[in-house]
Structure 1
Amino acid sequence: MPVSIRRWEPENIVFWRARGEPIARRNLVLSILALHLNFNVWMMWSMVVVNLPAVGFVLSSQQQFLLVAIPPLTGALMRIVYSSVWSWVGGGRWLGISTLLLLIPAVGVAQVVQDLTTPFWLLLAIGASCGIGGGASSSHLSNTALFFPKSVKGLAMGLNAGIGNLGVSVAQLLIPLAISLPLFGALAGAPQIWGQGAEVREVWLQNAGYLWVLPVIAVAVLCFLFSHDLPKLRLTPLDQWRMMKDVDTWRICLLYMGAYGTFLGFAAAFPLLARTLFPLEDATPYLFVGPMLAALVRPFGGWLGDRVGGGVTAIACFVAMIVATLGLFACLPTEESVGSFWGFLALCQVLFIAAGVGNGATYQLSPKVFLLKAGRSAGDDVAEAYRRGTRDGTAAMSVSSIFAAAAGFAIPETFGTMLHLTGSFLPAFGVFLLFYAACTWVAWRHYARAGAPLRC
């Protein structure tokens, strides 16, 4: 089982160099592996849903968008629990336990896709179970942040979240390959007949779930054997409630929703969105690219936030997202035009990259802002200020991660609703454009301009 540590002083340079750094790096690696698998499982459902009609499931467009939206929503709800339970159980122990929980959606998805009589409510329930993978960020990142000194928190969390987020693109890359091959033979069950137009072939949709079973077990064992439990913070929902009364929690939450919510929501919606907008184009070979780029640049966003400021970096990212969204208006199909698939694809990559950098920049704002606020109000008691700032920042990070994951539900659901109500995706992109403009103003007003009291 994980080793319990009673004394942890990452800001003490002697302690950090002699003992702290090697332990912190080991736990960072384990957290990255576990979080990566959580994102694999969280996003696998979107790759399954896009194939369900082709194998015989009868689903409307609105039902399909609801199915891909439900894992981000349940992931947000899971974060309410995950964000405090790790501080009682122990960060290392919770790494192992939460990883084993991924077996529930992995096996569940593999079972329901093999039965064409599966009712919609059960498909919705199994999709919701994939949200188990969405809870991990609020526990793994908060726990990992405590291992590192303030000077490198942004980079450490960027690496943890960035490589963890890479699980989205890995799932979107591996699942199309896995379902096209009889990887597990007769043990996995019979194939389904996939048909679209003149193309007909055998697929094994159940492999989308079975693919993760062995990696989940292996990573869980590693976490149980080699991770560490830091002194327990004993966070409770009351800590989150207390931080929800602080206006800076909501400001940071808004920025993180704009960046992380865009990454998560577009990653979930993109396979279905591309197929609906451009039915004659095969976007499958490109589905993984945007989420992969967003994940790879997230550590850069954390590093850039450490160097030039999270507020300044966030502004640059939101401006890029505004420009990309405006460009998308010209690429979408209309009654007079078939649109531009390649323009749509390129601008979506810009959105993903800007969101990825913004993820790293906005997430590292939380611990820094609340450490700064605690330091200004603590007088000469530096140790007490550090403890209070750490606790407040961790609780605020949890609140931000919950609402940002909910934004991952809002994006695909907005697409589905607008398509149903207006027959077009244009109004949905208009809503996103206004939201990015609001995020830009908040970042400039409170964390970037020269006179901002919490510029950091």
Structure 2
Amino acid sequence: MTTTEATPAPPPAERIPPRDADAAGLVHRPGRWIDGWRAEDPAQWAAGGRTIARRNLAWSIFAEFLGFIVWQLWSIVVVQLPAAGFAFDAGQVFWLISMPSLVGATLRLPYTFLVPRIGGRNWTMISAALLLIPTVALAVCVSSPATPFGVMLFVAALSGFGGGNFASSMANITFFFPQKEKGFALGLNAAGGNVGASAAQFVVPVAVTIGAGTAVNLPLAGWIWVPLIVVAVVGAWRFMDNLSHTRADLAASLRAVREPHLWVLALLYIGTFGSFIGFAGVFPKLIVDQFPRFSSIEVGSTAISLAFLGALVGSVARPFGAASRTGSGARSSR
């Protein structure tokens, strides 16, 4: 009688990762697409998911930071226009301030749905590259006081590209983090972007007056951001990822329009972020007109605008509220 040695049974199929899966069980495909992302899986999160999520968050913050800079450029550029030889009336100036906000707010709707359609990394690259259009156009149009107001208004509208970046950045990052860490991650993402409004209002007055004597080198208000935008595009291409499981549920979004709580939250949002970005945009012009003695600090031949302080305080406060809310939710779930 012949005996044969028993062959061990193979492990269950679900335990055999695909050949190209990493230690976290994630499959990486060309184009930096990731399959099998499960943010709520503690094992996957500890095995490498956290590192991937934080890397994407860092580059998302940088791209969104530049988006807010571009969105708020005209809020501080208009204050410098008289010194550059432009003679627009008050109504025209406020149109230049308001148009980027109007366009940016409108673009948030399509930008939100583009992340699941083409990938968060891909859309970050595209939306960051679009920022080159308003920055270069601004540098060109402010180089001559003969530029018609209509052209200036159109270029100001192009800065709305930066406003749309906030929506797509938040929509992308929300897929990367587990619920217990989502609040702080999104708060940090928002704060890092919002501080771009403060950065624009601080850097532009310094950049355009250094070495310019009594005049201003206003085209620098656009040119100085071009290298950073290129870095953001390359960084997103090299270090960010697309998650294959993301979906855009347009039908659910349309159903939400009929939900009364949506409109209550929208009203609250108008009084919070809406007021933040609106007041930040008009603040430089307001203090120059009403409080000229306190509008800036003279450092040598450079005037540092005080307008950046309001946007800075609002931006820095954002993640703390999100962290408090996340911690509360975590405690209640336990």
Structure 2 length normalisation: TM-score? Answer: 0.84
Q: Which of 202, 207, 214 is the matching residue for 2:215? A: 202
In the TM superposition, what is the alpha-carbon distance from 1:242 to its structure 2 partner? Answer: 2.5
Q: Which of 258, 276, 288 is the matching residue for 2:271? A: 258
Q: Which of 209, 226, 231 is the matching residue for 2:239? A: 226
Are residues 1:169 and 2:198 paired? Answer: yes
Q: 1:203 to 1:234 in 2, by over 3 A?
A: same
In the TM superposition, what is the alpha-carbon distance from 1:19 to its structure 2 partner? Answer: 2.5
Which amino acid letter does the alignment assign opposite residue 314 of structure 2? Answer: A
Contact 1:2–1:223 (8 Å) recurs in 2 = no
Partners of 1:181 and 1:60 in 2: CA distance = 27
Matching of residues 437-456 of structure 1 within 5 Å = none
Aligned to 1:325: none
Aligned to 1:31: 60
In the TM superposition, what is the alpha-carbon distance from 1:225 to its structure 2 partner? Answer: 1.1
Which amino acid letter does the alignment assign opposite residue 288 of structure 1? Answer: F
Per mean C-alpha deviation after superposition, the further-off stretch among 32-41 and 223-232 is 223-232
Q: Which of 104, 112, 115 is the matching residue for 1:75? A: 104
Partners of 2:328 and 2:99 in 1: CA distance = 37
Q: 1:14 to 1:26 in 2, by over 3 A?
A: same
Contact 1:90–1:232 (8 Å) recurs in 2 = no
Which amino acid letter does the alignment assign opposite residue 291 of structure 1? Answer: A
In the TM superposition, what is the alpha-carbon distance from 1:223 to its structure 2 partner? Answer: 0.3
Partners of 1:112 and 1:236 in 2: CA distance = 41
2:322 partner SS: helix
Partners of 2:179 and 2:89 in 1: CA distance = 49
Deviations 1:241-299 (A, max 9, x none): 22212222222222222111111011100001111212344345311111111111111
Which amino acid letter does the alignment assign opposite residue 110 of structure 1? Answer: A
Contact 2:99–2:157 (8 Å) recurs in 1 = yes
Partners of 2:222 and 2:254 in 1: CA distance = 36
Partners of 2:166 and 2:249 in 1: CA distance = 17
Q: Which of 19, 23, 37 is the matching residue for 1:8? A: 37
In the TM superposition, what is the alpha-carbon distance from 1:232 to its structure 2 partner? Answer: 4.6
Q: 1:232 to 1:45 in 2, by over 3 A?
A: farther
Q: 1:53 to 1:47 in 2, by over 3 A?
A: same
Identity %: 38
**Is there any run of 5+ residues in structure 1 with no aligned partner, and where?**
183-190, 192-199, 310-371, 373-456
In the TM superposition, what is the alpha-carbon distance from 1:308 to its structure 2 partner? Answer: 4.4
Contact 1:88–1:232 (8 Å) recurs in 2 = no
Aligned to 2:299: none
Aligned to 2:70: 41
2:215 partner SS: strand
Which amino acid letter does the alignment assign opposite residue 27 of structure 1? Answer: N
2:35 partner SS: coil
Matching of residues 32-431 of structure 1 within 5 Å = 32-181=61-210, 201-235=214-248, 237-283=250-296, 284-308=304-328
Which of the two has greater helix per residue?
A: 1
In the TM superposition, what is the alpha-carbon distance from 1:236 to its structure 2 partner? Answer: 6.0
- Of structures 1 and 2, the one scoring higher in RCO (CA 8 A, sep 6+) is 2
2:305 partner SS: helix
Which amino acid letter does the alignment assign opposite residue 326 of structure 2? Answer: D
Deviations 1:67-111 (A, max 9, x none): 111111100111122111121110011111110110000000001
In the TM superposition, what is the alpha-carbon distance from 1:239 to its structure 2 partner? Answer: 4.3
**Is there any run of 5+ residues in structure 2 with no aligned partner, and where?**
1-29, 297-303
Per mean C-alpha deviation after superposition, the further-off stretch among 159-168 and 46-55 is 46-55
Partners of 2:48 and 2:295 in 1: CA distance = 52
Contact 1:48–1:208 (8 Å) recurs in 2 = yes
Partners of 1:49 and 1:301 in 2: CA distance = 33
Partners of 1:49 and 1:285 in 2: CA distance = 13
Q: 1:104 to 1:249 in 2, by over 3 A?
A: same
2:162 partner SS: helix
1:117 partner SS: coil
Contact 1:24–1:148 (8 Å) recurs in 2 = yes
Which structure is larger by alpha-carbon Rg, 1 or 2?
Answer: 2
